[in-house]
A and B are shown apart, each in its own frame.
Chain A
């Protein structure tokens, strides 16, 4: 069990009348990779800025190693930041950007030279020492930003969507590189992203946020397999979210059928949300004893087919490796382990079915992200 390094206690942040953070409580463990995940505007950057010291919370405390640091200015904190748009110094070259922090702490020039050299090789930027930062590509600038922060050997590195501006390919490479750097230097990373795949693949702990609140804290597996509510289920990966009734322990009813499940601890006949992941559904030949529906749309996705099936007007997304043509009448089977029952929340009923399914849902989400980033600049 790792020790706690940073604790956020009852953080509230208000801008005028806007309450942007609503009672954030979070414990960040030493040497771990923690990710803040949530849709745009949910308060991720604000949380990070409070940890870095750029912003004072309206109320609440930040503890570092057990000491309150809420009123400590940024330059006195052992924390460094990789900014959302890098914020490299345009009047300095790559070398001077990276050396900036060491020069401020007045290290001997020889020591600086040695450490900058090391840092340049570890982010594969040797030979770029004297380049102007404006002449670098996005990926290179991003590495300079990481090097500039890491060279100070902070206890914590805050990263605000550091890969947001990179293309998919480079993003994947940098994800691996970042994870590797984190494990090698053994420092705490607090990473902000709104890309759920990135969050799941890199983190030790994922914190899902929405409108200034923390909805769930857990390992990537916990978050994916046991979402706390309909919002988390919908935000993390694809999911079919249905209205159900928990008849008794281990028995849930939806679509007027009783299904066996593994969940307990609900009131008898309590209305619940049921989440079924598209890859957990098996398509079988139609049979009156099964839930049956008609295939309305099939899209080839490489590894699998996205199959949209209409059950009494409610459309599900099912991912299978076998092809079932449009119009075919099929039945489904779901393993009791794969039916996730959740308490009703304010998010219940907000996520409809897949009737507005688009073949290019990945592209569309990416385009939305880019548009937002463009607007933010």
Chain B
């Protein structure tokens, strides 16, 4: 028997917090902010921000690819371990996710800033400080660091579901290790790759491009309250 009414809370939730806000956004998109009259000005205004949009997209794509390239071997290696080790490593991967995004990011700031730990080391060697922060590289680094678990976990769950007998069957039919990977393991981990990419690519990342001061302020504010 289908219990349709069980979905009611979910539907109400979606109405209140997704559908209605969306409608409001659409309403404001086509009205003038001060007069409230209908206008396309907001839409045509997008062009002014095109460069920023493209940069965001480019950064996301780059970070996602790097996550995939780092994450896949890690996920694969974990899937080959003994079950106990697997559980432990899985926990280790998830651990940073329990920490505040802000704190993790600030830790990187402390490492990378012009008077940060790394540059202190560099200048103490008599070299000029490296431009480590406030550039695309730093943004990508921060995103990769923060979102890597979201790539590794779906990959791991897909790879660990692959029946080891399938790789044996491939070897039996003449595949060496690399052919075995290309013909069997990679196609069968496709669901994990798609899930990982989706989770990392569409993840919003505004906090990271906060000017550092506002991060500080937010932090001290949350400490007071």
Contacts and interface: CB of A to CB of B under 8 A. Distances in A.
A81 B169 CA distance: 8
Contacts of B175: 75, 104
A63 to B, nearest CB: 19
A83 B169 contact: yes
B32 interface: no
Contacts of B172: 52, 54, 74-75, 79-81, 149
Nearest to A101: B173
A73 interface: yes
Nearest to B165: A87
B171 A85 contact: no
Sorting the interface of chain A by its residue count into under 10, 10 to 19, 20 to 34 or 35 or more gives: 20 to 34
Contacts of A85: 165
Contact of A148 (B165, B173, B183): B173
B163 interface: yes
A91 B165 CA distance: 14
Given A91-B188, A104-B183, A75 B169 contact: no
Contacts of A89: 166, 169-170, 184
A152 B165 contact: no
B19 to A, nearest CB: 38
A105 B174 contact: yes
B171 A74 contact: yes
B84 to A, nearest CB: 15
A189 interface: no
Nearest to A148: B173
Main secondary structure of the interface of B (DSSP, over half): helix
A33 interface: no
Contacts of B166: 87, 89-90
B176 interface: yes
A52 B174 CA distance: 12
B187 interface: yes
A75 B176 contact: yes
Interface in A124-159: 148-149, 152
B174 A104 contact: yes
Given A90-B188, A100-B173, A152-B174, A74 B179 contact: no
Interface string B155-190: 000000001011011111111100100011001101
A101 B176 contact: no
Contact of A87 (B169, B187, B188, B190): B169
B165 A83 contact: yes
Interface in A90-127: 90-91, 100-101, 104-105
Given A89-B184, A91-B188, A104-B179, A75 B165 contact: no
Contacts of A83: 165, 168-169
B167 to A, nearest CB: 9
A101 B165 contact: no
B163 to A, nearest CB: 7
A62 to B, nearest CB: 15
Interface in A145-196: 148-149, 152
A175 to B, nearest CB: 23
Contacts of B173: 75, 80, 100-101, 104, 148-149, 152
Nearest to B166: A87
Contacts of A100: 170, 173, 183
Interface string A49-64: 0001110000000000
B53 to A, nearest CB: 36
B193 to A, nearest CB: 13
Interface of A: 52-54, 73-75, 79-81, 83, 85, 87-91, 100-101, 104-105, 148-149, 152
13 contacts: A52-B172, A73-B176, A80-B172, A83-B169, A87-B163, A87-B166, A89-B166, A89-B184, A91-B184, A101-B173, A104-B173, A149-B172, A149-B173
Given A104-B174, A104-B175, 9 more contacts: A74-B168, A74-B172, A80-B172, A80-B173, A87-B165, A87-B169, A89-B170, A91-B184, A101-B174
